[in-house]
Amino acid sequence: MKTILFIGVHQQFSGLRLGAALGTALTWQGEDVLVAGPGDQLPTYLQLPMVAVPPKVTTKTLVSLLQKNHIERVISLAYLPGCEAAASLSIPFVYIEPANLKETKPVKNKKALLAKAHKVVVIGQPGQALNKKLYGANAVCVANPAIWVEHYNYQKPACFKKANNIVAAGPFGKEGGFEVLLKTWARLAPAHVTWHLTLVGYGVGKAALQKFIEQHQLQASTSLVDADTDLYSLLRNADIYVNPARTSGGLNELLDAMASKLPVITTDVPGADEYVQNAINGLIVNTAGEEPLTIALDELMVNWGKRVGMAIEASKQKEKFPFEDFTAQVLI
């Protein structure tokens, strides 16, 4: 079956993480998958056919895209225009979004459109009551799935054959907390010369971070890479994952890092304690300044036994939030 996977990106939610994993999983199952989404954000490392969709695309253009590629099924990750095109051609479609999503551009006929869906999958808390008036009778709720490296078709980048890697992911701007992490790193790096820090980010603010790295002579021990880099290859080669964010936006990657058997450090943003049990499978620090983060990171860097113990406990997240359950709900 020829399937197109539309990926929507909103201020509150990005479908890129789940889209990359879902497209890969469907391909492994023998599906013929085309990934469609914002051209400047599509994960270029994926070995999947892709098509860029402009921000102000019309339904007519999307209909033409479906017809040209002989699409037989549509899966939409928070991208309602793809559902509109599918409905106009009577192509079965599955729509996926997190609970309480605030669309970047609200769709007036959302309720009527979702009533035509083969299924609506809502990412939320297990057992959560759904708004059936909005989502329709075919709606189901699934937990946010953990994407872990053993399930990922990664390619090891040559630059990550080093030992002692720390990885962090999020926006380059202030909400990502990278500037606090770099201040921490400026204090720790001289005493830990075998360690390397990689910041995987997106959005504005990269230039300011790069300037800080140069001013503090951290070029040899620090890398800034864009978000279209294969994060899961980096997790495969990491020893510690850090989430320095000031908002809850980085919790997806935090969950993936834990499921990939990494000890983690996270700020105490809302929702972090749903995944991290402090001092058991990771460390939770206050967002107020760099001192708590400095102490926590130094503690894990020097204590291999503690890292291993936390990593074993962290890896249990892949059983608590299995990706297979998510995929099965999408395909039913």
pLDDT (tens digit per residue) in 14-50: 899 999 999 988 998 899 999 999 988 887 778 889 9
202 confidence band (pLDDT: 50, 70, 90): confident
Residue with tokens 């971070």: 209
Question: Is the same domain home to 199 and 115?
Answer: no
> How much is the pLDDT for 106?
75
Q: What b-and-e string marks burial along 311-327, b requiring 16 or more CB atoms within 10 Å of the CB? A: bebbbebbeebbbeebb
β-bridge pairing 165-171 and 240-243: parallel
Task: Tell me, yes or no, whether 167 and 113 share the same domain.
Answer: no
- Give the contacts of 29 (CB within 8 A, at least 6 positions apart): none
- Global pTM exceeds 0.75: yes
CB 182 within 8 A of CB 150: no
Residue 325 within any structural domain of the chain: no
Nearest to 123 by CA among 104, 107, 147, 106: 147
Helix, strand, coil percent values for the chain (each to nearest 5)? 40, 20, 40
Same domain for 78 and 185, yes or no, is no
| Share of residues in the chain with pLDDT > 70 (%) | 96
Q: 218: which 2 tokens?
A: 């951290």
Tokens found for residue 279: 């001092």
Contact 40, 17 (CB under 8 A): no
CB 301 within 8 A of CB 243: no
Domain with 299, as residue range(s), is 151-318
CA 217 to chain centre: 31
46 vs 228: CA distance, rounded Å: 10
Look at residue 285 and tell me if it is in a domain: yes
pLDDT digits (tens, 9 = 90+) for 255-303: 999 999 999 999 999 999 999 999 999 999 998 778 999 999 999 999 9
> Length of the chain, please?
332
Count: domains in the chain: 2
Instruction: Output the average pLDDT for the chain.
Output: 91
- Final residue belonging to a domain, choices 142, 164, 197: 142
User: Are 167 and 308 members of one domain?
Assistant: yes
> According to the model, what pLDDT value does residue 160 have?
44
Q: Is the dihedral of CA 117, 119, 122, 127 positive or negative?
A: positive
Residue 330 lies in a domain: no
167 and 112 both lie in a single domain: no
- pLDDT > 50? residue 131: yes
pLDDT digits (tens, 9 = 90+) for 141-186: 999 999 998 877 655 544 444 469 999 999 999 999 999 999 999 9
Q: Are residues 13 and 75 both part of a single domain?
A: yes
Between CA 131 and CA 115 the distance in angstroms is 12
175 Cβ contact list (under 8 Å, min separation 6): 245, 246, 247, 249
The confidence score (pLDDT) of residue 153 equals: 62
For 183, half-sphere exposure in the C-beta direction (CA atoms, 13 angstrom radius) is 9
Q: What is the CATH number of the domain that holds 17?
A: 3.40.50.2000
In a domain, 324, yes or no: no
Domain match, 199 and 284 both:
yes
